[in-house]
Amino acid sequence: MRRVSVFGATGSVGQNTIDLIARRPDDFDVVAISGGANVALLAAQAKLLRADLAVIAQDDLLSDLQDALAGTGIQAAAGRCALLDAAAIPVDWAMSAVVGFAGLEISLAIAKNTRTLALANKESLVCGGALLQKTCADHQTRLLPVDSEHSAIFQCIAGADKLVERVILTASGGPFLKSSLAAMEQATPEQAVAHPNWDMGQRISIDSASMFNKAMEVLETHALFDVTPDQIEVIIHPQSIVHSMVGFTDGAIMAHLGPADMRGPIGFALNWPERADLPVERLDFGALGALSFQHLDPVQFPALGLAEQTMQMGGLAGAAFNAAKEAALDLFLARQIGFLDMARVVRAVLAQTDVASNDILCVEAVIAADAIARVKAGEAAQKGF
């Protein structure tokens, strides 16, 4: 039996992970699972999986969790420190699926103690990519990407890293692909959250509508694979069937196709290096008809240009980019700024970010870069555009 833990178990990726693990009770010994604030769901998951430990991130929810787990023998804990302690419990495989910058330290704790880190939390790579990669190397931890595009790229490269010429990330285009700029200026959080193909958490769904998610994935690609910024391309593919492609030096292109179901990439990481039978729909190409591709409009989706700028800046610009984007998203959700203002906030923060003295291998430096960028994002929004 493999010892496994799942952080962010109550979220979209987390629930899909729990679904796969729960189908094979004889194969997995579940050590720790965590949630943010949903005590009822976390307790139900812990009982279903007979986990040793359940951790709720919000510390005032400890007694609720203890009550929900009373008599089960499952240990309950709460708060940030308890969460980081749980991530440091040695296991064979752990999923890092907390959303946002809060996931970085969890990924680092897993990387120091676990054989395989299944990484959904893209912010870990965008903000602290060099640090996370070094931590994995120092502890001989295998990092497996769970983001669907990066799982696809990993599967297409299949070890032939040195022969890669280009990486082509696909983007669905989100709910505003055919919208005018004027309509996008007025877009509400309710409109932005409605993703046409993928069923995801609220924050990543809105990031998909603005293409900030794709911009994050470009930065993630840069941090994960040995490619330069000019080797990374983004193409719109509205059907979300091709999850990404890799072009090799002989002109051949490998593409990864599958249904838009996160249990594909999660299951790949869970079973790697094997492939296992997964409960996902099988593609029917006749029913699909055509797969289409188109270039994206950089004016409609300024996030991609900002990702390019972030890669050129280097240092901890990724941490500033992510923090500004997260802060801007909070302001958009609070209806204090408009949809397209999110990119304006990130642009203003990057313009004020100095990366010259960044220590990219120091977690405190990453945390400081994040904190500074959040303050600057608030100031930029306050000043107006």
> Which spans of this chain sit near Mg ion (rule: CB under 5 A)?
147-149
For residue 108, give the nearest of 358, 368, 371, 361 by alpha carbon. 361
Q: Cβ-count burial of 131 within 10 angstroms (0-12 exposed, 13-18 middle, 19+ buried)? A: buried
Pick one of Mg ion, ligand NAD, none as the site partner of residue 173 (Cβ within 5 to 8 A by kind).
Answer: none
Window of 17-25, 169-177, 193-201, 297-305 that interacts with ligand NAD by CB under 6 A: 193-201
12, interface contact from ligand NAD, Mg ion, none, CB < 5-8 Å by kind: ligand NAD
Which own/partner pairs from 225-230 qualify as long-range (CB within 8 Å, at least 24 positions apart)? 225/153, 225/157, 225/161, 225/164, 225/167, 226/161, 226/164, 227/164, 227/166, 227/167, 229/308, 229/311, 229/312
Nearest in space to 103 (alpha carbons), one of 120, 115, 118, 79: 120
Q: Which of 52, 147, 326, 370 binds ligand NAD (CB under 6 A)?
A: 147
Q: How far apart are CA 355 and CA 340, in angstroms?
A: 26
295: phi > 0 → left, psi -120 to 50 → alpha, else beta; which?
A: beta
Shortest gap between Cβ of 125 and ligand NAD (angstroms)?
10
Q: What is the DSSP string of 70-90?
A: TTS--EEEESHHHHHHHHTS-
Q: Does 195 bind ligand NAD (CB under 6 A)?
A: no
Is residue 200 near ligand NAD by the rule CB under 6 A?
yes
**Interface residue with ligand NAD, options 5, 10, 240, 353 (CB under 6 A):** 10
Q: How far is the CB of 124 from ligand NAD (least distance, A)?
A: 8
CB atoms within 10 A of CB 67: 11
Instruction: Compute the least distance from the CB of residue 259 to ligand NAD, in Å.
Output: 13
Residue 275, Cβ density class (10 Å: 0-12 exposed, 13-18 middle, ≥19 buried): exposed
Considering only the stretches 8-16, 44-52, 238-246, 290-298, report the one whose residues sit in contact with ligand NAD under the rule CB under 6 A.
Answer: 8-16
Per the structure block, which two tokens stand in for 290?
């055509």
Cβ-based nearer residue to ligand NAD, 241 or 348: 241
Which of these segments, 2-10, 59-67, 186-194, 246-254, binds ligand NAD (CB under 6 A)?
2-10
Residue 327 near ligand NAD by CB under 6 A: no
Which option in ligand NAD, Mg ion, none does residue 318 bind, with CB closer than 5 to 8 A by kind?
none
**β-bridge pairing 164-171 and 242-248:** antiparallel
Find tokens 């295998």 and name the residue: 142
How many residues form the binding site for ligand NAD (CB under 6 A)?
Answer: 28
List 65, 108, 136, 204, residue binding ligand NAD (CB under 6 A)? 204
Q: Judged by CB under 6 A, which of 46, 99, 209, 218 binds ligand NAD?
A: 99
5 near ligand NAD, judged by CB under 6 A:
no
Query: Interface with ligand NAD includes 120 (CB under 6 A)?
Result: yes
Binding-site ranges for ligand NAD (CB under 6 A): 8-14, 35-37, 57, 83, 97-99, 102-103, 120-123, 147, 198, 200-201, 203-204, 262
